[in-house]
């Protein structure tokens, strides 16, 4: 089994999900007492969030590169950035290390295309919904043109992530708001939903929707486990 390197803590609420999924998948595949071989670098998210809010992506990139190099030195065979938003610096991180970075958008795209979805709605942080590093990769590399909520919807989705989900708060009222955002997009032609933030799956599940929904955390973890067990 190859060792999976995780850059997490952004937030730790979803990093816990990565840890659970990877170990459960390993047990399902291998049976018995098997679990995944993992190395984890976990940030203090308050420091990273402050850089995000300030728009200091250069400093955030430097922190991510340092973490990636540390995980590689620790013996990891591949690397996961356990957050969609911080894939903004995926290219810089990959350039800084010799082990492969398994990109969360690639794992997501494979599932979207397999389901025949062509116009998925992206629920994510404002950075991921409004900037091009994630949407652009889906479009340019995979031919998937995602949709995003309107300005009010983007504000709702973003605020719930940072003010609630990243702090361990799961609110039925916020779930209702998310469902309303998706319902509006469905009425406008969206035929799928991408949980484009690793915390979104803490609030809603694919079973909440009448169209295919794609939990990026689960898809990313599965891709990593498959890489780790590939001979």
| Percent of the chain with pLDDT strictly greater than 70 | 100
Query: Measured on CA atoms in the order 133, 138, 144, 147, is the torsion positive or negative?
Result: negative
- In this prediction, residue 231 carries a pLDDT of 61
DSSP of 42-58, one letter per residue? E--HHHHHHHHHHT-HH
pLDDT interval class at 27 (50, 70, 90)? very high
The pLDDT of residue 147 is above 70: yes
Domain borders along the chain are: 4-103+219-229, 105-215
**pLDDT average, residue stretch 65-80:** 98
Return the closest-CA partner of residue 166 out of 126, 218, 203, 220: 203
CATH architecture classification, 105-215 = 3-Layer(aba) Sandwich (3.40)
Q: Which residues are catalytic?
A: 83, 197
Q: Say yes or no: do domains 4-103+219-229 and 105-215 share a fold.
A: yes
| Cα–Cα separations (whole angstroms), residue 181 to 25, 145, 151 | 32, 18, 11
Give 217-228 pLDDT, tens digit per residue.
999 999 999 999
Return the closest-CA partner of residue 22 out of 48, 4, 47, 42: 4
Chain CA centroid to CA 177, Å: 21
At the topology level, CATH places domain 4-103+219-229 in Rossmann fold (3.40.50)
């Amino acid at each position: 089994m190859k060792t999976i390197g995780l850059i997490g803590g952004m937030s730790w609420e979803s990093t816990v999900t990565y840890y659970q999924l990877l170990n459960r998948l390993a047990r399902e595949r291998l049976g018995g007492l098997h679990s995944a071989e993992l190395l984890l670098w976990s940030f203090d998210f308050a420091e990273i969030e402050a850089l995000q809010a300030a728009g200091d992506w250069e400093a955030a990139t430097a922190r991510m590169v340092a973490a990636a190099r540390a995980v590689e030195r620790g013996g990891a065979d591949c690397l996961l950035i356990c957050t969609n938003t911080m894939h903004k610096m995926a290219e810089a991180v990959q350039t800084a290390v010799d082990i492969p970075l398994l990109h969360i958008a690639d794992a997501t795209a494979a599932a979207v295309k397999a389901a025949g979805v062509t116009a998925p709605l992206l629920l994510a942080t404002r950075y991921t919904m409004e900037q091009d590093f994630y949407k652009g990769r889906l479009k340019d590399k995979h031919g998937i043109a995602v949709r995003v909520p309107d300005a009010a919807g983007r504000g709702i989705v973003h605020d719930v992530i940072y003010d609630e989900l990243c702090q361990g708060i799961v609110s039925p009222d916020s779930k209702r708001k998310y469902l309303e955002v998706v319902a509006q997009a469905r009425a406008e032609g969206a035929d799928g939903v991408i949980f484009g933030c690793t915390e979104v799956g803490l609030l809603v599940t694919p079973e909440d929707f009448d169209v295919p929904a794609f939990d990026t955390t689960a898809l990313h973890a599965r891709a990593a486990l498959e890489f780790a067990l590939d001979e």
